[in-house]
Amino acid sequence: MPHLHIEYTENLTGLNERELMRELNAVICAHPTVTDEADVKARIARLSSFYIGNHPDNRGFVHVQLQLMAGRSEQAKKEMSDGLAAVLRRAVPQHEGIMVQLSVDVADMDKATYFKGRL
């Protein structure tokens, strides 16, 4: 932990997945509540099947979910959320004729049920 789950619609061509993950990871790694950069894990999924609202043509989205071990302050979570949103605004290419929605969600993981190990 932390875990970054990134999803985006396939109609958003030109999105550099590796660079986006690098920039998002950098935001989380730089936060003072994250003590080991090797704990920050990102994955990205391009969605070929999606439906947005009642009129899905020419719409797309990028959504980031950040999962953190429970216990961080609301301020710390807000700082990370704001940093991730800033990366999305900067890194997601604009597409003429496509309304793109950007979103970030920060969720707590339960300490009692979370397992982490290293090999």
- pLDDT for res 114: 82
3-9, strands of its sheet edge to edge: 41-47, 3-9, 59-69, 99-109
- pLDDT for res 39: 93
- pLDDT for res 1: 78
- pLDDT for res 116: 82
- Give the chain's residues under pLDDT 70: none
- pLDDT for res 12: 95
Q: Which domains does the chain have, with CATH numbers?
A: 3-109 (3.30.429.10)
Among candidates 13, 91, 22, which has minimal Cα distance to 4? Answer: 22
- pTM for this one? 0.92
Q: What is the pLDDT of residues 10-42, one digit of tens each?
A: 999 999 999 999 999 999 999 999 999 999 999
Please report, to the nearest 10 degrees, the dihedral formed by the alpha carbons of residues 24, 119, 71, 17 taken in order.
10
